[in-house]
Amino acid sequence: DVKVTIDGKQVEVPKGSTVLQAAQKVGVHIPTLCHLDLHDIKMVNKAASCRICVVEVEGRRNLAPACATPVFDGMVVKTNTIRVLNARKVVLELLLSDHPKDCLICPKSGQCELQNLAETFGLREVRFKDGAQSTYRKDASKSIIRDMDKCIMCRRCETMCNEVQTVGALSGVNRGFNAVVAPAFEVNLEDSVCTHCGQCVAVCPVGALTEQDNTWKVVEALANPDKVVVVQTAPAVRVALGEEFGYEPGTLVTGKMVAALRRLGFDYVFDTDFAADLTIMEEGTELLDRIKKFLNGDRDVKLPILTSCCPGWVNFIESQFQDLLDVPSSAKSPQQMFGAIAKSYYAEKLGIPRDKMVVVSIMPCLAKKYEATREEFSVDGNPDVDISISTRELAHLIKRTNIDFNELEDEDFDRPLGESTGAGVIFGTTGGVIEAATRTAYELFTGKQLDKVEFEQLRGLDGVRVATVKMGDIDLNIGIAHGLGNARKLLEEVKAGNPRKLHAIEIMACPGGCIGGGGQPYHHGNLEILKKRAEAIYREDAGKPIRKSHENPAIKELYETYLGHPMSEKAHHLLHTNYTP
Which of the residues are catalytic?
283, 286, 309, 329, 368, 371, 376, 514
- Site membership for ligand HC1, residue 334 (CB under 6 A): yes
Q: How far is CA 481 from CA 235, 464, 484, 490, 506, in A?
A: 19, 5, 8, 7, 6
Residue 277 DSSP SS3: helix
Contact between residue 132 and residue 151 where contact means Cβ atoms under 8 Å apart: no
Task: Tell me how far apart the alpha carbons of residues 441 and 450 are, in angstroms, rounded to a whole number.
Answer: 11
- Site membership for ligand HC1, residue 236 (CB under 6 A): yes
- Site membership for ligand HC1, residue 428 (CB under 6 A): yes
Task: Tell me how far apart the alpha carbons of residues 436 and 537 are, in angstroms, rounded to a whole number.
Answer: 13
Q: Which does 525 bind (CB under 5 to 8 A by kind): ligand SF4, ligand HC1, none?
A: none
Q: Which does 430 bind (CB under 5 to 8 A by kind): ligand SF4, ligand HC1, none?
A: none
- Tell me the closest approach of the beta carbon of residue 373 to ligand HC1, in angstroms: 15
13, 200, 303, 314: which one contacts ligand SF4 (CB under 6 A)? Answer: 200
Task: Tell me how far apart the alpha carbons of residues 112 and 116 are, in angstroms, rounded to a whole number.
Answer: 6
Q: Identity (one letter) of the amino acid at 230?
A: V
- Tell me the closest approach of the beta carbon of residue 481 to ligand SF4, in angstroms: 16
- Site membership for ligand HC1, residue 333 (CB under 6 A): yes
Residue with Cβ nearer ligand HC1 (19 or 509): 509
Q: What is the 3-state secondary structure (H, E, C) of 485-519?
A: HHHHHHHHHHHCCCCCCCCEEEEECCCCHHHHCCC
Residue with Cβ nearer ligand HC1 (309 or 347): 309
Residue with Cβ nearer ligand HC1 (368 or 488): 368
- Tell me the closest approach of the beta carbon of residue 581 to ligand HC1, in angstroms: 22
* Long-range CB contact pairs, 288-292, < 8 A, 24+: 288/441, 288/444, 288/445, 289/567, 291/445, 291/474, 291/476, 291/503
Q: Which does 115 bind (CB under 5 to 8 A by kind): ligand SF4, ligand HC1, none?
A: none
- Site membership for ligand SF4, residue 388 (CB under 6 A): no
Give me the residue whose beta carbon is nearest to ligand HC1.
514
Residue with Cβ nearer ligand HC1 (54 or 236): 236
Q: Name the DSSP letter for residue 390.
A: E
Phi, psi of 55 (to 5 degrees): -140, 165
21, 69, 199, 308: which one contacts ligand SF4 (CB under 6 A)? Answer: 199
196, 290, 482, 488: which one contacts ligand SF4 (CB under 6 A)? Answer: 196
Residue with Cβ nearer ligand SF4 (49 or 188): 188
- Tell me the closest approach of the beta carbon of residue 537 to ligand HC1, in angstroms: 9
Q: Specify the length of the chain in residues.
A: 581
Residue with Cβ nearer ligand HC1 (413 or 427): 427
Helix 334-341 and helix 272-295, axial crossing angle in degrees, nearest 10? 110
Site for ligand SF4 (CB under 6 A): how many residues?
Answer: 14
Residue with Cβ nearer ligand SF4 (521 or 566): 521
The C-alpha angle with vertex 282 and arms to 280 and 288, in degrees rounded to 5, equals 90
Residue with Cβ nearer ligand HC1 (45 or 390): 390
Which residues on adjacent β-strands are paired with residue 145? 140, 210
Q: Which does 236 bind (CB under 5 to 8 A by kind): ligand HC1, ligand SF4, none?
A: ligand HC1
Q: Which stretch binds ligand HC1 (CB under 6 A): 1-9, 12-20, 327-335, 344-352?
A: 327-335
Which residues on adjacent β-strands are paired with residue 508? 482
Q: Which does 333 bind (CB under 5 to 8 A by kind): ligand HC1, ligand SF4, none?
A: ligand HC1
235, 304, 418, 511: which one contacts ligand HC1 (CB under 6 A)? Answer: 235
Q: Which stretch binds ligand SF4 (CB under 6 A): 188-196, 272-280, 296-304, 499-507?
A: 188-196
Q: How far apart are the first and last CA of the chain?
A: 52
Give the residue among 114, 125, 326, 339 at the shortest CA–CA distance from 208: 114
Q: For residue 411, is it left (φ>0), alpha (ψ between -120 and 50) or beta? A: beta
Contact between residue 370 and residue 142 where contact means Cβ atoms under 8 Å apart: yes
Site for ligand SF4 in 116-145 (CB under 6 A): 144
Q: Which stretch binds ligand SF4 (CB under 6 A): 190-198, 248-256, 267-275, 524-532?
A: 190-198
Q: What is the 3-state secondary structure (H, E, C) of 408-436?
A: CCCCCCCCCCCCCCHHHHHHHCCCHHHHH
Q: How far is CA 54 from CA 30, 75, 78, in A?
A: 8, 15, 10
Q: Which does 198 bind (CB under 5 to 8 A by kind): ligand SF4, ligand HC1, none?
A: ligand SF4
Interface residues toward ligand SF4, by CB under 6 A:
144, 160-161, 165, 167, 169-170, 194-200
* Binding residues for ligand HC1 (CB under 6 A): 234-236, 272, 276, 309-310, 333-335, 363-365, 368, 427-428, 513-514, 517
